[in-house]
Structure 1
Amino acid sequence: MLIRPVEPSDAEPLLAMLQESGQFDDEGLLHVRDTLKNYFSGESDELWFSAEQQGLAGIAYCAPEVMTSDVWNLLMLWISPSSQRQGVGQALINQVEKELRNKHARLLLVETSSLIDFSAARAFYSKQGFINEARIRNYYAINEDKVIFTKDMQK
């Protein structure tokens, strides 16, 4: 498996992977496209990594939190269905954490949904050493909470 920074040639396969998932509407895909464009311009502090394993296996997107001191947010960790449970997510998290330690990050956040469909994601983050820090009730929709995990990057 190869973990590397996302390159412009990755944009279309990445967007296709997200579209095929059915979890991103047109507005969400446009936002990802615009965020990638900003990243490729070189004017962004954001991190984008891809995992290759017989094609694109997953991506990680992490950005600094505005108005904080050395806090970053893992805004997207996406693994293709055919590559799940093969260590791709862990490899991407490890690369993000390595880069953030080089940047002297203090805290890493990750947010996910409280829905049953996201129980594997919540278990994954706990297994990776994240702490279930907070819950914002009815955040995404009625009866769908935002669950916030944190990881101390200075340990």
Structure 2
Amino acid sequence: MAVREATTSDRGGLVRIIEGTGNLTREEKDCALELLDIYLGNPLQKDYFFIAAVANSGMPAGYACYGKTPLTDAVYDLYWVLVDGGVRGQGIGSLLLENVEALIGKEGARLLVAETSGLPAYEAAREFYLKRGFTVESRIKDFYKPGDDLITYVKRY
């Protein structure tokens, strides 16, 4: 599995992954699609970066979106790590995260921040971060809506 910068030719496959991710709300899918289109549509922007894990067939099997947090000294946000449901659990998410870490490491990253929901549907995401060296930095009760907390994870370098 190769990991490389996502390109416009990957858009269809990335949209398929986003739309096929069952635990994402419509709003979350729309946000992911918006960030993808910002990235693909404006090569001069520096807010969002996408890397894709690409199978031998050339089709994306997953992607990560990340970017430098504005007004910070070497802090990065990990916006999304999504993997096609048909190949989930095969280490592709870890491979993508390792590549993000290598890329931001070259930029002198101090922190990588990931946020997710406290709902049961996001348990796999929370476990993913913890198993890969992130720690829980904060929890804001009822952030997204009543009963849906925001949990912030941080990995320090």
Q: Which moved more, 1:75-84 or 1:14-23?
A: 14-23
Who is 2:45 aligned against?
A: 43
Matched, 1:121 2:125: yes
Q: CA deviation at 1:139?
A: 1.0
Who is 1:138 aligned against?
A: 142
CA contact (8 A) 1:6 1:49 kept: yes
Matched AA of 1:42: L
Work out the number of aligned pairs and report it.
152
CA contact (8 A) 1:18 1:24 kept: no
Q: Structure 1: 5+ residue runs without aligned partners?
A: none
Q: CA deviation at 1:52?
A: 1.5
Who is 2:94 aligned against?
A: 90
Q: How does 1:1-155 map to 2 (within 5 A)?
A: 1-22=1-22, 23-25=24-26, 27-28=30-31, 30-38=33-41, 40-44=42-46, 46-53=48-55, 54=57, 55-153=59-157
Q: Which moved more, 1:98-107 or 1:41-50?
A: 41-50
Q: CA deviation at 1:17?
A: 2.0
Paired with 1:100 and 1:41, the residues of 2 have a C-alpha distance of 18
CA contact (8 A) 1:11 1:36 kept: no
Paired with 1:69 and 1:12, the residues of 2 have a C-alpha distance of 35
Paired with 2:26 and 2:5, the residues of 1 have a C-alpha distance of 25
TM-score after normalising by structure 2: 0.88
CA contact (8 A) 2:7 2:40 kept: no
TM-score after normalising by structure 1: 0.89
Q: Would you identify which runs of 4 or more consecutive aligned residues in structure 1 move more than 6 Å?
A: none
SS at match of 1:86: coil
Deviations 1:97-116 (A, max 9, x none): 00011000111000111011
Matched AA of 1:50: A
Deviations 1:83-105 (A, max 9, x none): 11100010000000000110001
CA contact (8 A) 2:3 2:51 kept: yes
Q: Structure 2: 5+ residue runs without aligned partners?
A: none
Amino-acid identity (%): 29
**Cα root mean square deviation, aligned:** 1.8
